[in-house]
Structure 1
Amino acid sequence: MTSRQEANGTWTSQFRYEDAYGRSRSKCKRGFATEADADRFERHFKARESKSLDISFLDFIELYEDDVAPQLKENTWRTKEYIINDKLVPFFGPMIMTEVTTLDAVRWQNALLKGNPRTGRPYTDTYLRTVNNQAVSIFNHAERFYKLKPNPFKRAPRIGSKIATDMSIWTKEDFLRFSSTLTGRPIYFMAFELLYWAGIRVGELLALVPDDFDLRRSELRITKSYQRINRRDVITDPKTENSVRTISLPEFLRDEVRDFAFDPPGFDHDERMFAGLTKASLSAALREGAQACGLEVIRVHDLRHSHVSLLVEMGFSVIAIAERLGHDSTDITLKYAHLLPSTQQKMGEALNGYQEADDELL
């Protein structure tokens, strides 16, 4: 690298490069805080100008972040960044992008399929698909914008599945047993009532303020989500566009919300109602309550799955359930396919009864 330190302590990056037409050019940029920052600028600039990927996977990830991160929510990028650093960099990090082969991709997949090396436990099918999709996304980006050829993941198999067959579910009776352990803990009782009976996400719960409720209509409006990022409380838009939705509340749940937050008023109209809770504290309370009444310990997010299971059992359509949860109906079908056969059986039985009724008229 050709970086140099100036008298004022800052660093300057000055170098020559070849543009897209093969002409030799010079570039100079000043004011970098560190030598590493100046060197990073040179690497990225040359890669963009020449569309050359004779750089390491680790260096390309810096380019990928510059291109992709500004277009994503901060928490979304943080999730992707964790997967990249934990699952991809240890394997692909030092490899030159143009030298990564399909066999390398398959070997990386096989290592994932062996499970978590720290715990020895296998990864879930949905997590495997998420991690694999992240790798595919990186190499597709390199192919599309930096002319990487060949793309090693084009011929690699897909691993994992979109269909979550490993989710844990509580029945209504299970949840009622659990909620009975929350006597004397009103904030936890109210939080878990909303998670189970409204099927909202944890981030949506933690962002709720009194203004989100219309008690006259018995409705809850979901318009935002809470995240804890780098020790900061961050309110973001919901997970997807479909996540902005209005949820009809059963009367008993509406009355519980009224008693908790409105009668008497316990919060300002725009004050977070569950600011005293965190994902960790909710998980701990769920585990403690489950163990106290002899239930399978599930994740907090599994209460959302349990809500779907309850709605399926009650006979609601996939489209109606998707609208309530803020999902696309296709996502619901894929994610909860294993819950739907009982509904299909009921359809078959109903059609059989309908046909038998016609036979009696003949």
Structure 2
Amino acid sequence: MPTYKNEATGSWYCAFYYTDWLGNRKKKKKEGFKTQREAKTFERQFIEKAEASPDMSFGTLVSIYMEDCKTRLKPTTYSGKECLINTKLLPFFEEMPINKIEPATIRKWQNTLMEDESDYSQTYLKTIHNQISAIFNFASKYYKLQTNPARVCGSMGKKNAESMLFWTVEEFRKFLPFVSDKPVSKLAFEILFWTGIRSGELLALTLNDFDFDAKTLSITKNYARHEGEDLIMEPKTPKSRRLIAVPTFLCALVQKYAEQLYDYEPNERLFPVTKSYLHSEMTRGTKKSGIKRIRVHDLRHSHASMLIEEGFSALLISERLGHECIETTLQTYSHLYPNKQIEVANRLEQMNKPDSPNE
């Protein structure tokens, strides 16, 4: 790897030929390095990335993978992925050649995370493992990596949490008065609890999304804040685009709220706040009311558990929540269904009883 010193400036530069992934031979020159080592490192990493061979470093692979992701993911999703990779994967694997990373290496990394003093949740550990496995799948599919060591090693963590927090209607009613001094907070939590929509869907709502005659709410977009900018994006998944039936009392609350807004246009956001505002208001309301603290997202679980308790089908709940498939609903809320199974058995028992003592 030839490197050269610029005698006039005292800095180093590299000049070399490489073959790109299309098989074209090209020349590259890069100046301005403080040391010869920096120049050599740049050349090595550049060639690895250009040729994308299976002996490239994990850090180089991540760079290629993230370039691919950037054109395919929403900015907020990309940012979250980048943060996870930078903090949980690169510190351990960055300099390792990807074809030298064995299942035992992955196992050691898993143990490090599971023993970390941060005490990561089981679902977060699962998310971290899924990410590294996705990166190795990318390398296997496009850059001739023979096997995915993360898949061979096996996963860590769990897909679903051991328990799920949610509020009953009674708990929600105890909470609501303690945020009712702020109309935007009161209505936001009313909609979240009684419709089960996501907080991002709530924050993207406009008055035009409501049909007060038909008593429906149209979910067509999602809100996120990224690098200080408010973004209105496509819904989370294709099934997230949906029409929700809304109770009459909630329609009335929305109409009354909109009438009190000054200089409001029906295509503007009804709730010009952020997710952090909702989290802060949730904390304020639970502290003052004394009921258990749940996440804002748990209001969605509260809605689902309420519908299950009322006997609505998993298919209807899946459509209302905007799940991609009914299996997602069943897996997420399976622990709430055992009581319903007992109820089914009891009803079948009643149906099997004779109509009269003579039969």
Query: Normalization by structure 1: what TM-score?
Result: 0.87
Residue 175 of structure 2 corresponds to residue 174 of structure 1: no
Distance 1:97 1:210, change over 3 A: same
Q: Is the 8 A contact 2:179 2:284 kept in 1?
A: no
* In the alignment, structure 1 residue 235 sits paired with structure 2 residue 236: no
Partner of 1:245: 242
CA distance in structure 2 between the aligned counterparts of 1:137 and 1:54, rounded to whole angstroms: 18
How big is each residue's C-alpha offset from its partner over 1:207-231, in whole Å with a ceiling of 9 and x where there is no partner?
A: 1111111111111101111111111
Tell me if structure 2 keeps the 8 A contact 1:224–1:237: yes
Distance 1:258 1:139 in 2: 51
Measure, in 1, the Cα distance between the counterparts of 2:47 and 2:299.
50
Distance 1:67 1:3, change over 3 A: farther
Q: How do residues 182-221 of structure 1 correspond to structure 2 at under 5 angstroms?
A: 182-221=179-218
Letter in 2 for 1:219: T
Deviation at 1:323, TM superposition (A): 0.3
1:81 to partner: Cα distance: 1.1
Residue of structure 2 in register with 1:97 after alignment: 98
State the number of aligned residues: 351
1:256 maps onto 2:257 in alignment? no
Aligned to 2:338: 341
Distance (whole Å) between structure 2 residues aligned to residue 40 and residue 339 of structure 1 = 55
Aligned to 1:145: 142
Q: 2:288 corresponds to which letter in structure 1? A: A
* Native 8 Å contact 1:197 1:307 kept in 2: yes
| Conserved? CA contact 2:126–2:158, under 8 Å | yes
2:311 to 309, 315, 323: 315
* Alpha-carbon distance between aligned partners in 2 of 1:108 and 1:209, rounded to the nearest angstrom: 46
1:81 is matched with which residue? Answer: 82
Change (3 A) 1:182 1:105: same
Q: How far apart, in 1, do the equivalents of 2:189 and 2:20 lie? A: 59
CA contact (8 A) 1:2 1:13 kept: yes
Equivalent position amino acid for 2:95 in 1: P
1:295 to 291, 294, 299: 291
Q: Matched residue of 2:252: which SS?
A: helix
Report the Cα distance in structure 2 between the residues aligned to 1:33 and 1:268, rounded to whole angstroms: 55
Give the counterpart letter for 1:158 in structure 2.
S
1:105-154 C-alpha deviation (Å, 9 max, x unpaired): 11111222225x3x4xx322222221111110001111111111332113
Task: Verify: 1:136 aligned to 2:137, yes or no.
Answer: no
* Worse-superposed segment, 144-153 or 214-223: 144-153
Identity %: 38
Cα deviations by residue, 1:314-338 (Å, 9 ceiling, x for unpaired) = 1111110010010021111111111
The amino acid that maps onto 1:353 is: Q
Equivalent residue number for residue 27 of structure 1:
26
Q: Flag the 1:90–1:346 CA change in 2: closer, same or farther, 3 A.
A: same
Measured in 2, the distance between the counterparts of 1:5 and 1:226 equals: 51
Correspondent of 2:220 among 213, 218, 223: 223
Distance 1:361 1:316 in 2: 37
How well do the aligned residues superpose, as a CA RMSD in angstroms?
A: 3.2
**Which of 282, 289, 302 is equivalent to 2:278?**
282
SS for the counterpart of 2:152 is coil
The 8 Å contact of residues 210 and 267 in structure 1, kept in 2 or not, is answered as no
Asked whether the equivalents of residues 17 and 25 of structure 2 are also in contact (C-alpha less than 8 Å), the reply is yes
Counterpart contact for 2:192–2:202, Cα < 8 Å: yes
User: Is the alpha carbon distance of 1:259 and 1:39 closer, same or farther for their aligned partners in structure 2, counting shifts above 3 Å?
Assistant: farther
Structure 1 pair 3–142 and aligned structure 2 pair: CA distance change class (3 A): farther
Q: Report matched runs for 1:11-26 at 5 Å.
A: 15-18=16-19, 26=25
The alpha carbon displacement at 1:50 in A equals: 3.9
For residue 160 of structure 1, what is the amino acid of its counterpart?
G
1:167 Cα deviation from its structure 2 partner: 2.4
Any unmatched runs of 5+ in structure 2?
Answer: 7-12
Query: What's the secondary structure of 1:234's corresponding residue?
Result: strand
Q: Secondary structure at the match of 2:56?
A: coil
Deviation at 1:284, TM superposition (A): 1.3
Shift of 1:193: 0.4
Relative to structure 1, the CA distance from residue 336 to residue 19 in structure 2 (aligned partners, 3 Å threshold; closer, same or farther) is same
Deviation at 1:87, TM superposition (A): 1.2
Distance of aligned partners of 1:311 and 1:213 in 2 relative to their CA distance in 1, 3 Å threshold: same
Paired with 2:25 and 2:129, the residues of 1 have a C-alpha distance of 39
Q: Which residue of 2 aligns with 1:9?
A: none
CA contact (8 A) 1:165 1:338 kept: no
Unaligned runs of 5+ in 1: 7-11
Paired AA for residue 297 in structure 1: R
Distance across 2 between alignment mates of 1:98 and 1:325: 42
- What's the offset of the Cα at 1:298? 1.0
CA 150–184 in structure 1, closer or farther in 2 if over 3 Å, else same: closer
Q: Separation in 1 of the partners of 2:354 and 2:31?
A: 82
Aligned amino acid, residue 350 of structure 2? G
